[in-house]
Amino acid sequence: MGKKRKHSELTVTESKKKDEIASERPKRTLMGWKDKVGEKETDSPVFRNKEKVLVTCSRRIIYRYRHLMLNVVSLLPHCKKDNKVESKESKGAALNELVELKNCSSCLFFECRKQKDLYLWMAKCPNGPSVKFLVNAVHTMEELKLTGNHLKGSRPILTFSSNFDRDPHWKLLKELILQIFGTPKEHRKSKPYHDNVFVFSIVDDHIWFRNYQINVPHNETDKVDRGGLDKMTLVEVGPRFCLNPIKMFGGSFGGPTLYENPFYISPNQIRALEKRKKAGKYAKKVKAKTRRKMHELSNPLEPDEFADLWKE
């Protein structure tokens, strides 16, 4: 018995030794054989765009903006549309939770206030920056003047105007837009062909969005016809909108304010000012009258030579 134990101990030690020797064999990994001796640093894991966007809106959103939201949903195959959120839940914490729940990495939240104004939140969750925009000049895809059409889920070509590189806040916005509106490469709902182009351009400190369908004469799938690039035409597909950045925050739906638009006036203020302008009409009239009187008093007219001409 004692001998057996000794034997087993011996075998244990022997096997251990064998293991040590064996571990010097080159490791077999998914990327191929990796030599232990001349171990090279493997390349960083291949980049995969795993962006997922959650698209929601607030309650009491009107039809035009709801259609805009649905259009955006159809444009982005990597998005998830969710139910309307209650007004109480449109504060930061609840939305962040919702995004986490749906396992998304960013969020587009359409908030409609007073059934007139549409605000768009673009946020990177969980701790990314977020931006609040005021949306103007909305034209949806259903308008019959926008006649183009493209594949659903095709990866768009994103074009930015060069003034996105001028200021840091524009740079940040460009990165956000690139990540949210660009369809990931091997997404399961994406189509492999590129037949539409998004235009984001900054004019008058607003971001204008346009979506065009590309028509180019071609016979093969990987080559344009000779001279075809010059015959390329674009037809607008829609939707169309214009974004006015209001504020940019460091956190998702909240956090320290990183940027505030100095030229932004809220639509409420605009409406109030217009009303006040109208209200001042009568006051202006009265003022003008008094001013005239003062002027007349201070500059008396010379006596008219011909005043008594026709008196009899």
Partner 1 sequence: MIPQVINLWIPRLLVSSKGKQMGTTTGFRREEGTSFASLELKTINPILAEMAVLKQQPTLFNGDTVDRVDVNGEPSESESEPESESEDEDVKLSEPSKTSINNKDGLLEKLADISWPENVEWVHKLSIDIDQEQAVDVNDDLARELAFYTQALEGTRQAFEKLQSMGLPFLRPPDYYAEMVKTDAHMEKVKGRLLVEKKKIEEAEERRKARDAKKIAKEVQSQKLKERAKQKKEDIESVKKWRKQRQQSGFAGGDKDGEMPFSFDDGKVFERSNKKRPGVAPGDRSGGKAGFRGGKAGFRGGMGKKGGDKMRKDREHKNSKFGFGGRKGLKKQNTSETTNDLRGYNKGNTGNRKRKR
88 to 147, contacts with partner 1 by CB under 8 A? 124, 128-129, 136-139, 141-142, 144-147
- The secondary element (H helix, E strand) that includes residue 279 is helix 267-298
Residue 306 CB, nearest approach to partner 1 (Å) = 34
Residue 74 CB, nearest approach to partner 1 (Å) = 5
Given candidates 84, 92, 117, 157, which one binds partner 1 under the rule CB under 8 A? 157
Query: 56, 111 in Cβ contact below 8 A?
Result: no
CA pair distance 205, 249, nearest whole angstrom? 18
- Total binding residues toward partner 1, as defined by CB under 8 A: 107
Find the binding residues for partner 1 in span 54-73 (CB under 8 A).
none
> Applying CB under 8 A, does 298 fall inside the site for partner 1?
no
Find the binding residues for partner 1 in span 198-237 (CB under 8 A).
199, 201, 203-204, 206, 208, 210, 212-216, 218, 220-224, 229, 232-237
Residue 50 CB, nearest approach to partner 1 (Å) = 11
Site string for partner 1, 258-297 (x = CB under 8 A): xxxxxxxxx--xx--xx-xx--x--xx-xx--xx------
> Applying CB under 8 A, does 75 fall inside the site for partner 1?
yes
Given candidates 104, 121, 240, 243, which one binds partner 1 under the rule CB under 8 A? 240
Given candidates 72, 99, 122, 176, which one binds partner 1 under the rule CB under 8 A? 176
Residue 168: HSE in the Cβ half-sphere, 13 Å Cα cutoff? 4
Is 264 buried (19+), middle (13-18) or exposed (0-12) by CB count in 10 A? middle
Question: In which residue are the tokens 């195959």 written?
Answer: 77
Q: 3-state DSSP call for residue 97?
A: helix
Q: Which is nearer to partner 1, 85 or 239 (CB)?
A: 239
Residue 246's nearest CA partner among 65, 91, 120 is 120
Given candidates 9, 39, 165, 296, which one binds partner 1 under the rule CB under 8 A? 165
> Applying CB under 8 A, does 168 fall inside the site for partner 1?
yes
Query: 209, 76 in Cβ contact below 8 A?
Result: no
In sequence order, the β-bridge partners of residue 120 are 110, 133
Q: What does the block give as tokens for 275?
A: 């009303």
> Applying CB under 8 A, does 156 fall inside the site for partner 1?
yes
- Write a three-state SS string for 31-54: CEEECCCCCCCCCCCCCCCCCCEE
Q: Which is nearer to partner 1, 133 or 212 (CB)?
A: 212
> Applying CB under 8 A, does 47 fall inside the site for partner 1?
yes
Q: Which is nearer to partner 1, 94 or 158 (CB)?
A: 158
- The secondary element (H helix, E strand) that includes residue 109 is strand 106-113
| Rg of the chain on CA atoms, in Å | 34
